């Protein structure tokens, strides 16, 4: 793994692949430094996912697909059976990095399905095909996000002041974004949109990443602390909310960054629409409701420290769930690449998932 700097102003993607090398911007260092890390080994990609060099549901999936390809490339096997055994081990290691974002498992299942469907191919051809499959997953993610943006843009009225939580932009995807993709599409359609970004403790993805992205795009953005949203809603200064998702259950319950549930409750109290933007790959139809979604608990230091600076007493007990569950009853609509689910979200998601097959 090597590090380089990049300050290109072209349309942004946090993940780039060329000639067998994966480059990812180190999101832990933004906005202070724009450092790109290079990867050629699946174990290093797994560590990048675990330590949040790359984060965001679909970005994790894209990174995992390339990681699976790196692992496959290095497998020494004479036949399919030997290759498959070792490839499963590669995918298992990648899958163990972060439990909540279903796109990680979706991407790994997709590359495994490719291998199973081509069990009559040579090991060399399997490796070639897996590289193309990873490239296809990355390209499809950007197309999906653009379709999502087009479908969701009509939900945002001209002049809207939109609250978002965490980062669901280009940095969280292969490019363009989910929630921020809807905002970008509305702006591209000529609407005047102003964004209010929650800081999103304890990793400040809103302060560090969403604010950086929108400022870079010239979209008006105002940063607030996480505990300010209710006050602004009470003053009529927020017109709607839109967030991304790491996993959506079949009934429309949504797992997203911790604090999302609080925003949804406040929006309901103040009669403000609460929208979720996520691709069909984020919808886990195998789970009937959000109680079955595994919630990642991360280390105490993320809460007790800001960088090297200690914020809390030594030895204090800490809870650090990385995500929470927003029940479907608080969600106004879910935007996907196939359309928008409203009202009966369970029925709507079933219909949209059927279209996506």
Catalytic residue numbers read: 246
**What's 153's DSSP letter?**
G
Q: How far apart are CA 163 and CA 196, in angstroms?
A: 5
How are strands ordered across the β-sheet holding 2-5?
2-5, 35-39, 21-25, 15-18
Q: How far apart are CA 207 and CA 30, in angstroms?
A: 10
What phi and psi values does residue 194 have, to the nearest 5 degrees? -120, 135
Q: Are 257 and 200 in contact (CB under 8 A)?
A: yes
Spell out the alpha helix ranges (H) of the chain.
Answer: 42-50, 57-73, 80-95, 102-117, 123-152, 179-188, 205, 211-217, 229-234, 260-269, 301-304, 345-355
Q: How far apart are the first and last CA of the chain?
A: 37
Pairing status of strand 339-342 against strand 283-284? unpaired
Q: What is the 3-state secondary structure (H, E, C) of 225-254?
A: CHHHHHHHHHCCCCCEEEECCCEEECCCCE
């Amino acid at each position: 793994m090597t590090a380089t700097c990049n300050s290109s102003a072209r349309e942004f993607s946090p993940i780039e692949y060329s000639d067998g090398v994966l480059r990812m911007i180190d999101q832990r260092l933004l906005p202070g430094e724009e450092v790109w890390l290079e990867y050629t080994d699946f174990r290093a990609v797994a560590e990048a996912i675990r330590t949040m060099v790359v984060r965001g549901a679909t970005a994790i999936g894209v990174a995992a697909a390339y990681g699976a390809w790196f692992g496959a490339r290095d497998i020494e096997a004479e036949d399919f059976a030997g290759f498959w055994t070792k490839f499963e081990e590669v995918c298992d290691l990648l899958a163990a990095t972060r439990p909540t974002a279903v796109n990680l498992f979706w991407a790994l299942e997709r590359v495994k399905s490719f291998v199973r469907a081509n069990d009559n191919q040579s090991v060399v051809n399997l490796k070639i095909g897996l590289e193309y499959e990873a490239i296809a997953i990355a390209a499809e993610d950007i197309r999906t996000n653009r379709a999502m943006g087009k479908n969701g843009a009509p939900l945002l009225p001209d002049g809207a002041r939109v609250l978002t939580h965490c980062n669901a932009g280009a940095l969280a995807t292969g490019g363009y974004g989910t929630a921020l993709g809807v905002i970008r599409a509305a702006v591209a359609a000529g609407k005047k949109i102003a964004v209010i970004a929650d800081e999103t403790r304890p990793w400040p993805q809103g302060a560090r990443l969403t604010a950086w992205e929108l400022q870079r795009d010239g979209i008006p953005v105002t940063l607030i602390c996480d505990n300010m949203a209710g006050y602004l809603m009470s003053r009529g200064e927020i017109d709607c909310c839109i967030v991304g998702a790491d996993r959506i259950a079949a009934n429309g319950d949504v797992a997203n960054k911790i604090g999302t549930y609080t925003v949804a409750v406040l929006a309901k109290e103040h009669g403000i629409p609460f929208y979720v933007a996520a691709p069909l790959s984020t919808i886990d139809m195998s789970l009937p409701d959000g109680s079955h979604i595994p919630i990642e608990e991360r280390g105490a230091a993320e809460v007790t420290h800001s960088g090297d600076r200690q914020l809390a007493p030594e030895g204090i007990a800490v809870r650090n769930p990385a995500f929470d569950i927003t029940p479907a009853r608080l969600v106004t609509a879910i935007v996907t690449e196939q359309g928008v689910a409203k009202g009966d979200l369970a029925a709507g998601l079933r219909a949209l998932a059927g279209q996506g097959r």
